Structure 1
Amino acid sequence: METTLNMRTVKALDGLRKALEAPKDERDGTFVREVMEPLRPLWEPSLRFMGSMARDVTEPLDVARLFRFYRPELGAERGLTALAELERAGTWAACVSAFQEAMDALDPVGHGLRLPGANMSFVLADPDGMDARLGSYTGVGNVPGWSLLLAWPTEFNLPRLPAIVTHEFHHNVRFAFEPPWPMTLGQYLVAEGLAEAFAAHFHGEEKLGHWTTGLSEAEVRAVRPRFAQALLSQDWNVVRGFIFGDWAASEHQFEAQGVPDFAGYAMGYRMVREALRRSGWSVVEATYRPWREIVAASGWFDEVLADAAVR
């Protein structure tokens, strides 16, 4: 059994800079070599879960387009300006620090977990390809051993980027503790709620994304009955419909569940926060508890389930 887990960073931002500063006819090749190949262990498994979206996508440049990575064809000057902005803000160093802090706090090896690694990278995003609802930043933490931050710098997201790194590493650990497939809605709610609570613990609730804080308490409570009825669903279209909301259903052509944008993030965060308050667990302690136990501790659905039983 491993006794330590060491962080490994993949410096995709440096690789992109090399590509953008290369002679024009060498930029694509440099980008593939310096950015896409080091990230292959992340994107190659991801393609298998993307269904028809990734059909026939195998070439690294096509993968970069699919994943909304910034690439040389989008313009050297524009990309270099964004990289300079990130450098001035000290974003990469802040993200590395956040990742190490998350590793130390969660101590997965000390909790008996074996992760295939602790790889972290930051990729500059295609600003025109990112959905506006995401605020020009997002993350990936569902590939074992990998945490990815994808962002185009803005005044809004720059101070929030380290929190995404913290969130995504939490997913790595949580999914090693409680494997995600098949994924129930209840398990996904807890996973997102714990990751956001963990990020809030280190960075403050004000640094969370609007996908978690954008709905009022009243709006979240109003859709609790819908969530309560579907907690055990393992239908991926149902699960993601509740987590991401009706915009995603329209965008990706699956059945809408009649819930607001990103309702599952807001629901999961409030549910986990209430479970921590009532139980006295720290967010690290809760990370190593089954999802059903966390839902029960929250009492979040007790009232609506009782009402349904009476009816």
Structure 2
Amino acid sequence: MNEIRIKTVDTLSFYKKCTQGNSNEENYRYELMKPLEKMWQYLNAPMTPKSPGGYDVVMASEMMGIWTPRKDVQLIEGKIDELKQTGIFEDCDHVITTGIQRFTESGYLIPLEEFTVTILLGDPENKILMASEGYSGFGGIPGYMMLLVYPNDFNKTRLKSALAHEFNHNIRFTYEPFNHGDVSVEEYLVIEGLAEVFAEQLYGIEHRGPWVQDYDDEEMAYTIEVIKEGREAKGFDQVAAYMYGDEVAREQGYSPVGLSRNAGYTIGYHIVKEYLKNTGQTIEQATLTPSKIIVEDSHVFA
């Protein structure tokens, strides 16, 4: 198995200090975000703003739905122990090690030396985060994974699955780098479908994320048709409308395209499931397969 280090940032200690009045915005930058500095560099978010009130890791965090010390500490005070009690900090190494083992056994030498994992408290005032049952993640930069969680009864049993989802993104992007500004709808469908099917295979369909919806036949056919027509669209502003649906598109200032919540995630999941069924490939093999081949061999848009 690849000898890859796993480093988990101690976020709980930071949050405890926040409740005692001993941490602030600067501590957030240099205690919590410094281990992710290279990730933020890729995302063009500097550790400190270039001008007062400018864009930086704190503003970027808030846009993603992460609680920061700019917000009232009472929003998270009762959630720190809940996050700890989920067991995700103890389970983290096992999730990543299991993923590494599966790809190693499939013959892929992961070209990374270290994974940095950060589990953060979400902002309950962020409408988009709370609409996804209070949890989300980011694994778009290989070597870095974030989970953001506002613990509740739904998400606290699904955090291992969510981390496995982000791990799959990390592996996918070592094979086919992610270009945020030039990604197509079709590529994003596959990216998210691969990640959720991988997580499902590790932790079961009962721990599947809320981003995969259960559609009846009529809605499935309609959604496939709309996405089929738009699958060549490129750029995240275009992609977001197809992936997240009209409600989130409006919330984020994008043009809606006539889709329900998380439509793209749902269709991407079914594309990957159909591809695996039709080809007999494993999810690890599929993760290292070009998007166009997966879509074509799934026959979902046929």
Q: TM-score, normalised by structure 1?
A: 0.84
2:107 matches 1:138: no
**Does the aligned pair in 1 maintain the 2:240–2:254 contact within 8 Å?**
no
Aligned-partner Cα distance in 2 for 1:107–1:124: 32
Aligned-partner Cα distance in 1 for 2:281–2:298: 11
Aligned-partner Cα distance in 2 for 1:234–1:80: 41
**Does the aligned pair in 2 maintain the 1:192–1:268 contact within 8 Å?**
yes
Letter in 1 for 2:234: Q
**Does the aligned pair in 2 maintain the 1:123–1:150 contact within 8 Å?**
yes
How far 1:290 moved relative to its partner? Answer: 1.1
Aligned-partner Cα distance in 2 for 1:169–1:184: 21
Aligned partner of 1:176 in structure 2 is 174
Aligned-partner Cα distance in 2 for 1:184–1:64: 25
Aligned partner of 2:49 in structure 1 is none
Q: CA distance change for structure 1 residues 105 and 59 in 2, over 3 Å: closer, same or farther?
A: same
Aligned partner of 1:196 in structure 2 is 196
Aligned partner of 1:256 in structure 2 is 256
Aligned-partner Cα distance in 1 for 2:80–2:249: 34
Size of the alignment, in residue pairs?
Answer: 294
% identity of equivalent residues:
26
Larger helix fraction of residues: 1
2:104 matches 1:129: no
CA deviations over 1:92-151 (Å, ceiling 9, x no partner) = 222332222222212399524523642111011111224232111000011232110001
Greater Cα radius of gyration, structure 1 or 2: 1
**Does the aligned pair in 2 maintain the 1:7–1:117 contact within 8 Å?**
yes
SS in structure 2 of the partner of residue 86 of structure 1: helix
Q: CA distance change for structure 1 residues 66 and 299 in 2, over 3 Å: closer, same or farther?
A: closer
Aligned-partner Cα distance in 2 for 1:266–1:161: 19
CA deviations over 1:207-250 (Å, ceiling 9, x no partner) = 11221134345422222122222323324332221111112321
1:1-311 equivalence runs, <5 A: 4-21=3-20, 24=21, 26-47=23-44, 57-72=54-69, 74-76=71-73, 79-107=76-104, 110-115=107-112, 117-131=114-128, 132-181=130-179, 182-302=182-302
Letter in 2 for 1:65: E
Letter in 2 for 1:176: T
Aligned-partner Cα distance in 2 for 1:109–1:282: 9
SS in structure 2 of the partner of residue 211 of structure 1: coil
How far 1:28 moved relative to its partner? Answer: 4.3
Aligned-partner Cα distance in 2 for 1:39–1:180: 18
SS in structure 1 of the partner of residue 193 of structure 2: helix
Letter in 1 for 2:276: L
**Does the aligned pair in 2 maintain the 1:18–1:30 contact within 8 Å?**
no
Q: TM-score, normalised by structure 2?
A: 0.86
Letter in 1 for 2:12: L
RMSD of aligned alpha carbons: 2.7
Which moves more between the two structures, 108-117 or 204-213?
108-117
CA deviations over 1:176-203 (Å, ceiling 9, x no partner) = 2112223222111111111010010011
Aligned-partner Cα distance in 2 for 1:47–1:205: 36
How far 1:80 moved relative to its partner? Answer: 4.0
Gaps of 5+ in 1: 49-54, 303-311
